[in-house]
Structure 1
Amino acid sequence: MIFGPPIDVRRLFPLERRALIELLHALGPEDWAKPTVCPGWDVHDVVGHVLNDYMRRLSGSRDGYAGAVFASDDTLPTYLARTNDEFVRASRQLSPRLLTDLLRHLGTELDAVWSTRDLHALADLDVSWAASDVPSPAWLDIGREYTEFWVHQQQIRDAVSCPGADEPELMAPVLDIFARGLPAALRAHTRPDGTAVRLEVSGPSGGRWDAVRQDDRWRLGTPEREPATHVSMNEDTFWRLATRGIPVESARERSQLSGDRELANAVTELFAVVG
């Protein structure tokens, strides 16, 4: 089991979206124009990008439309960067009210798509940051989409200084899904079978995850002995590191690392987005 035990986040999509819609209704015109951590994008742009995510998944996963999936001479990161920018530019002609209305309507349509999925079937879209050589299960693909929406909501909240949607019910699954990228973060480092690395994330939404070297690859699992390498950080540091909301160097300064320094450093390079 490379990715660890399955997690079902489907019931959380309406809860996360409700918090987002309430936030957007509370924003004034000046708030929509505030810059975010996403380079060159203000709040309006990030909301337009979330709408693009909804529409792309409905077109691809519900309708089977080939234009909604990666089929290009570009690399996946450059393809996504280009198409995301194209949609965001086009969405700037949409009013905040219309953007919000579209999110509310299309969000329920997307919920219906997820509800019909067999979580243990193959994913519609592989989660490349968790493993590039093993097909992803549907539960991981759906979980990745949940993290995408939650993180963009947090970026909006940061921009307008309005914290929220960070209670454990909504945040803990995000951290859990991000931790599924731990084996991939270690993939370049060969160690004897049985070697284990532990990531501990403190805070109400935190947890503990172990990567164990087995059959010439790293896997999430339970080690037979105490891991020799430990990395611990708080929940805010972890989700921002995983999405590069903070640089690796800042995450290391906020973390406690012990044991095999090369492996510990690799943990702090975990990257849970396509890039």
Structure 2
Amino acid sequence: MNWSWLGPPMDVRPLFPVERGAFLDLLNTLTAEDWERATVCPGWAVRDIAGHVLHDQVRRLSADRDGHPGPAFEPGEALPGYLARTNEDFVRTARQLSPRLLVGLLDRLGQELDAMWAGRDLHAPAGLDVSWADPGAPAPTWLDVAREYTEYWVHQQQIRDAVGRPGADGPRLLRPVIDAFLRALPHTLRDAAAAPGTAVTVTVPGPAGGRWTAVRGAERWGLAPAVPDGGRAAAEVELAADTLWRLASRGIEPAVARTRARLRGDEALTGAVLDIVSIIR
């Protein structure tokens, strides 16, 4: 399959144990009060986000490694509703786990996931889609794996925000999140009217950032190494790394991101960029 329009493949597998190590170190320093602090996720305390990460691990190992079917969809239930329901069910159950047991399970199952990912062909179809990048079509395994990495990293940051402990956001761990999230750019622009060859750039300053360019092709938008023929993009958006990941994961809304952004060019296109969503919702 041709996935070139999604940009060059990325391999985040070496970063899973690094990100997880920072996460476990954080959890091991939390007080009893910290575990109960409210988070940005409505109705979930810190312990609930940690339980949700455990659910992500369990679900991946059970389904992808062991071929075990998960809970059935209810009649008429769409994927976002299904995920919300099954996530909440598991989180309620995980409230029975002590912090020590929860941390131990996250460590053990994370290592099992590392072994599973190590055996995968990153260039093969993943067998499922990445709905915020190309809904309804098999995704390349490298993008599916990158999506999982962003899931764990964002949840770690949500806990850090809740307990007032910054960290794990240096360039090594953050840049792959920015890069993965911006693979949603072609899908984000799908309804934007533009002539073939029209380019849109997103610049994220700093060591965790870079420049991403989407170009309108004959049939769809796609990521490209640069603006064609050395020209200038029809629309340019500049966002700080912290703003970009929060926007793409809907920790902040587009209206807030707009107040923090530098915009130039076609207003319809810059507005479309600020609608980027790189999670299932």
Q: Percent identity at matched positions?
A: 56
Structure 2 portions without partners, runs of 5+:
none
- Distance (Å, rounded) in 2 between the aligned partners of 1:38 and 1:110: 25
Mapped pair 1:256 → 2:262? yes
The equivalent residue for 1:52 is 55
Shift of residue 204, structure 1, vs aligned partner: 2.0
Q: TM-score, normalised by structure 1?
A: 0.97
What SS does structure 1 have at the residue aligned with 2:143?
helix
RMSD: 1.3
1:241 is aligned, of 234, 241, 247, to 247
Q: Please, what TM-score do these two structures have when normalized by structure 2?
A: 0.95
Summarize the Cα distance change of 1:69–1:146 in structure 2 as closer, same or farther, 3 Å threshold: farther
In the TM superposition, residue 66 of structure 1 has moved relative to its aligned partner by 1.9
Given that 2:197 and 2:216 are in contact with CA atoms closer than 8 Å, whether structure 1 keeps it comes out as yes
- Number of residue pairs matched? 275
Shift of residue 70, structure 1, vs aligned partner: 6.8
Superposition pairs of residues 158-169 of structure 1, within 5 angstroms: 158-169=161-172
- For the pair 1:267 / 2:260, whether they are aligned, the reply is no
Amino acid at match of 1:244: R
Segments of 5+ residues of structure 1 without an aligned counterpart are none
The correspondence of residues 143-222 of structure 1 with structure 2, limited to 5 A, is 143-221=146-224, 222=226
Find runs of 4+ consecutive structure 1 residues off by over 2 angstroms: 68-73
Distance 1:114 1:69, change over 3 A: farther
Aligned counterparts of 2:42 and 2:74: Cα–Cα separation in 1: 25
Could you tell me whether the CA contact under 8 Å between 2:71 and 2:86 is conserved in 1?
Answer: no
Q: Does the alignment pair 1:114 with 2:117? A: yes
Q: CA contact under 8 A between 2:243 and 2:257: conserved in structure 1?
A: yes
The one-letter code of the counterpart of 1:32 is W
* Match for residue 227 of structure 2 among 202, 223, 242: 223
Q: Distance in 1 between matches of 2:192 and 2:50?
A: 38
Measure, in 2, the Cα distance between the counterparts of 1:33 and 1:204.
Answer: 34
Distance 2:237 2:227 in 1: 15
How far is the alpha carbon of 1:223 from its aligned partner? 2.6
